[in-house]
């Protein structure tokens, strides 16, 4: 493999990590503003980008464009503890997102109490992203 290809792959990997960090920071702002659906989507996006960067670092191959987080985690060869944490992410957030998108009266949502389980789910994703980014940066 040529030096140019290695350099391009390295730059793509670094770009993915940078974008993942940006998604993570933006997600935290949405989380703090209690916009949990948006925060959850951004955390998922950050997780996907970190996993793709890890795949590139460990396998020296370009990751698939579309794949499940579980598949990406397997390809990224995560340590068992991290893979378990990732697979334990609560799927309830996706159900909540669908319900919210169907809501006609947004004011009803703004005045309702935020479900603690929903908030804990987002916090869990935040912790997973933080650990993945740290792991990826240490794996350079």
Measured distance between the N- and C-terminal CA atoms of the chain, rounded to whole angstroms: 19
Q: Report pLDDT for 113.
A: 53
Per-residue pLDDT tens over the stretch 105-126? 444 454 455 577 888 889 999 9
- pLDDT band at residue 26, thresholds of 50, 70 and 90? very high
- The domains located in the chain, with CATH, are 3-138 (1.20.120.330)
85: nearest Cα among 36, 121, 38:
121
């Amino acid at each position: 493999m040529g030096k140019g290809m290695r350099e391009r792959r390295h730059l793509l990997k670094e770009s993915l990590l940078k974008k993942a960090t940006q998604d993570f920071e933006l997600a935290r702002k949405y989380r703090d503003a209690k916009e949990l659906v948006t925060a959850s989507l951004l955390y998922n996006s950050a997780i996907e980008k970190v996993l793709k960067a890890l795949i590139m670092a460990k396998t020296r191959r370009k990751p698939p464009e579309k794949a499940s987080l579980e598949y990406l985690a397997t390809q990224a060869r995560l340590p068992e503890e991290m893979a378990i944490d990732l697979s334990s992410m609560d799927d309830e957030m996706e159900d909540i997102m669908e319900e919210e998108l169907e809501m006609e009266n947004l004011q009803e949502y703004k005045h309702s109490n935020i479900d603690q389980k929903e908030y804990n789910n987002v916090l869990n994703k935040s912790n997973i992203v933080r650990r993945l980014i740290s792991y990826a940066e240490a794996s350079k």
